[in-house]
Structure 1
C-alpha cells in the first residue's frame, strides 16, 4: 500500500482547534477518496483535545501540528505533534462517574493501530491509523473473531 502525504495543519493550542481539525481532516480525506471518515474525526477530536489539555502546547502561544496521510484508499494515518508534557499519554481506567479520561480508550477501540513517540523537535507525536471504509472494518472484525 502506498503511503501518501495529504496535508499538514498547524493549529493554536486551544480547544477551538479541535473543531477546526475535525473539519479539515474530513475535507482532506474526502477529497482523497476516503468514504467513511467519522471514525477518523473521532480520533482527531480525542488526540487534539489531549494535546491541548495535557501538553505544553496548550499554554499561551503553543502550537499543535497535525499530519494527515492516506495509506491506500481505506486507511488514514493521523499524527498529532505537540511540545511534550510531564506525562506520557496512555489508556487509563476511568470510573463510571468520571467526567473525563476516556479519550485514549476511544482511540484504542476505534483505531486499527496507534502509538506515542518523540518527535525530532523534542516534543511528542501520538499517531493513529484508522480504517475509512465500512467494508474494510467488516473484514477486520471477521478476522478478529476467528
Structure 2
C-alpha cells in the first residue's frame, strides 16, 4: 500500500486497515478481531468509511459501525433495538428505540458465535426490509 496516497484514493478497506495499524494498541487488535468476525458471519459484507473516519459494515443496509475511543471499541448496530440478543451482548446505547451497541474494553473476551449471530440477524433484518 502506498502510504503517500491521499485518503480519497484509498478504498474503505484500505482506510480501515490503516486505522487498525495507526491505533497500534489493544484497540487496533480488537477492531481487527471484530472486523474478521463480521466478515466470517457475512462473506458478502461491504466495508465503508463514513463520517470522516468510522468503519461501517453494510449488506442490504447498514449492519454496524466500529468506533474507537480512548477506553473502548464500540460496535453500534444500526437496527440493534429490533434484534434478538439472547447472549446479552448489547451493553451500551440501550435507551434508544433504534440502535444498540457493544462496548469492548481492554482485556474483554469476544463471544464470537454470539457476535456472528447478531451480524447475521442484522443482515436478515436488512434484507427483509429491502424486500418490502
TM-score (norm 1): 0.28
